[in-house]
Structure 1
């Protein structure tokens, strides 16, 4: 083999190795970008965070069964905003929540009994039942559309029905404290049955 042929083979081999290395780097960068976009958790929507804050306060603090151990074993949320929830009329009068909102509320439900979205309170209500008047020892919850206030807080009305003469309806004041939506009080009348 001649010197020219050896140099040509070495140059070709070096070029090939360099091309493979560059292609590998390019693939690694693309794979990393794709990995980052699919594995980085997405922040839940503001609406989901507001509803989650209201649900936690309503079920774990303000409901008639908030004492430990709670008698509430299930939370049924009316699927769609129910503008009269603070008045204990918890039929939805707005379109159903989108699937992302429902999934986010479910993901933010740590500490709550299992939740399920229902189209109508009648689906799970059982007024003749002894104890809680809702299937599975549950409660039915309605949530109003969030209303932003001039002071930066948001009002979310909530109603919880747990039987014939069992329920609570009120409007929460929710404030963003250090990046977390937190119930800081109530406004307007509180209805307790």
Structure 2
């Protein structure tokens, strides 16, 4: 009897795990180069998000960074996704529906999160519409501003607006803790 394919074991060995050596995966060579380029001499780990790099440069305080991430988390839970994904279109073709972030929460939890978000958004709006736009662009959507790579970027008007927005959010979270 003739076989079409030789019996060869393929794939990962059964006992192997994705990260057996307990080291952090540094990513592909391309990703390492991109992180190093974004960090420009700082720790490449700080290039995961614009707020991380701003903190590494000393342009933000830890409290301001945390306020930005907390607001982004509330935004995602109340408003929804902040990244572009076409998976929901394919889910619809398959006859299933995509799960939203809010579907996993009961009504009481969702109401509490919505109140926290609305308070933070109201306090952020008090700082001004331009402040809101810059703060959400960087914190929530993770858009890299051009001024972050300039030597004098800390003096840019949008940097001041971002810091004002993050300070307003930090104050809002501290007042309603």
**TM-score band w.r.t. shorter chain:** under 0.3
Structure with greater Cα Rg: 1
**In proportion to residue count, which structure has more helix?**
2
Q: Normalising to structure 1: TM-score of the pair?
A: 0.26
**In proportion to residue count, which structure has more strand?**
1
Q: Normalising to structure 2: TM-score of the pair?
A: 0.28
